[in-house]
A = this chain, B = another copy of it.
Amino acid sequence: MSNPLQEAFNRATYPVIGHGKRNIGVLKDALDAYDGELDSDMYGAGRLIEDFQSKMAGILGKEAAVFFPSGTMAQQIALRIWCDCKGEKKAAYHPLCHLEIHEQRGLHELHGIEPVLLGGKNRLIGLADVQSLDESVSCLLLELPQREIGGQLPDYGELEAISAYCRERGIALHLDGARLFEVLPYYRKSAAEICELFDSVYVSFYKGIGGIAGAILAGDAEFTEQSKVWKRRHGGDLISLYPYILSADFYFEERFPNMERYYDGARELAGFFNKCHQITTLPEVPVSNMFHVHVSLPKERLEPLLVEIYEETNVGITHVLRENGESSCFFEVSIGDRYALIPREELQRAFALLNEKLTFSL
């Protein structure tokens, strides 16, 4: 199947989003930094995995951490542990939570946990939503930033209030921190300070960090020990997870210091988009390295305009458009290493052309 937008994006010299191509060179580059004699981890044991787990526990300010092949696995397990602990198989989360829309109802099918959808599809979960919760809910998952609504964040004060309320009511609070490192510049907090508000935390290594795959689940030692048993049950306790661990560590060291730059880039770029006719970004001013771009044109009309822009300017803006009703569409932007590599004049030319085409299409 031909996909002109994707193909034009792939040909563009200056893609705006991400760190780079997801090819096997990403892993080769990471492995080049390590000696071939380094011993594999073995079913969750060995220095290679234990050292990384300790390092991440420290960064997240938790007693212990466990490396998982995926966040899907880590988060289902976190919610299962909290539900078993509280004796009620009910977990609350946002209607556009990863568990609700991307995991084929695994939480229910494998763990028998009933999700309680909290807040609206177009807004963040607030303290008032949490206060409305039935007391029987065992745990609440908050995603920072809330990806599916453009990567929005609650005020830090709201977050503290939610945390305090949950502690008072005995509701375990779990952080979906797939993009936690990416929000630190906005909150002006350390990861550990934010995680202190939560009982358990998941972070990912292939979003802003740009690793191959893999996740860390952190909490107190009793929680993480239980999570290892469930990791074995899920089939995630592989004999060797080192391809993911080594690349996670390598790219963490490379990119964790860049989060402020990605955040600044996202704010600048959102500004460029917002100056164009028929475009608004969500949030208007990004609070992380990501945001959504909403365009008041049907997908079929925007696509050829974008292809022309990529071909004329060599700047690639997005590889995919998602429909948003009949008359508009949107796409996700996340800023990584590539953004800083685009010559300013090329970027300005692309946006001038985008604005011109959108004005003309009114």
Which A residues are closer than 8 A to B by beta carbons? 21-29, 31, 34-40, 42, 68-74, 76, 102-106, 109-111, 206, 212-213, 229-230, 232-244, 246
Contact between A25 and B21, CB atoms less than 8 A apart: no
A71 surroundings in chain B (CB, below 8 A): 235
Contact between B37 and A25, CB atoms less than 8 A apart: yes
Contact between B42 and A23, CB atoms less than 8 A apart: no
Of all A-B residue pairs in the complex, the 5 with the closest CB atoms, nearest first, are A73-B235, A25-B36, A106-B233, A243-B243, A72-B235
Contact between A39 and B21, CB atoms less than 8 A apart: yes
Contact between B243 and A27, CB atoms less than 8 A apart: yes
Contact between B104 and A235, CB atoms less than 8 A apart: no
A27 surroundings in chain B (CB, below 8 A): 31, 242-243
Closest Cβ–Cβ distance, residue A114 to chain B (whole Å): 16
Contact between B233 and A235, CB atoms less than 8 A apart: no
A244 surroundings in chain B (CB, below 8 A): 243
A-B CB contact pairs (8 Å), 26 listed: A21-B37, A22-B239, A23-B37, A23-B38, A23-B40, A24-B39, A26-B40, A27-B31, A27-B243, A28-B31, A29-B36, A40-B212, A70-B238, A71-B235, A73-B234, A73-B236, A102-B232, A103-B235, A105-B233, A109-B233, A110-B111, A206-B239, A212-B242, A212-B243, A213-B241, A234-B235
Known: A22-B42, A24-B34, A69-B238. 13 other contacts (CB 8 A): A25-B37, A26-B40, A29-B36, A31-B31, A68-B235, A71-B235, A72-B237, A102-B232, A110-B234, A212-B239, A212-B243, A213-B240, A236-B236
A232 to B76, CA, bound (A): 12
A320 to B70, CA, bound (A): 32
A37 to B24, CA, bound (A): 6
A31 to B35, CA, bound (A): 14
A251 to B76, CA, bound (A): 33
A102 to B24, CA, bound (A): 32
A116 to B24, CA, bound (A): 44
Contact between A70 and B36, CB atoms less than 8 A apart: no
Contact between A233 and B25, CB atoms less than 8 A apart: no
A27-B243, A236-B70, A236-B235 given; A229·B104 CB < 8 A: yes
Closest Cβ–Cβ distance, residue A231 to chain B (whole Å): 9
A242 surroundings in chain B (CB, below 8 A): 24, 27, 212
- Smallest CB gap from A242: residue in B: B24
A243 to B22, CA, bound (A): 13
Q: Which one, B31, B72, B230, contacts A232 given CB within 8 A?
A: B72
Contact between A232 and B36, CB atoms less than 8 A apart: no
A232 to B105, CA, bound (A): 9
Contact between A69 and B72, CB atoms less than 8 A apart: no
Closest Cβ–Cβ distance, residue A103 to chain B (whole Å): 6
Q: Which one, B36, B110, B212, B233, contacts A233 given CB within 8 A?
A: B110
A237 to B106, CA, bound (A): 12
A29 to B181, CA, bound (A): 33
Contact between A22 and B240, CB atoms less than 8 A apart: yes
A72 to B231, CA, bound (A): 11
A25 to B40, CA, bound (A): 9
Closest Cβ–Cβ distance, residue A78 to chain B (whole Å): 12
Closest Cβ–Cβ distance, residue A334 to chain B (whole Å): 14
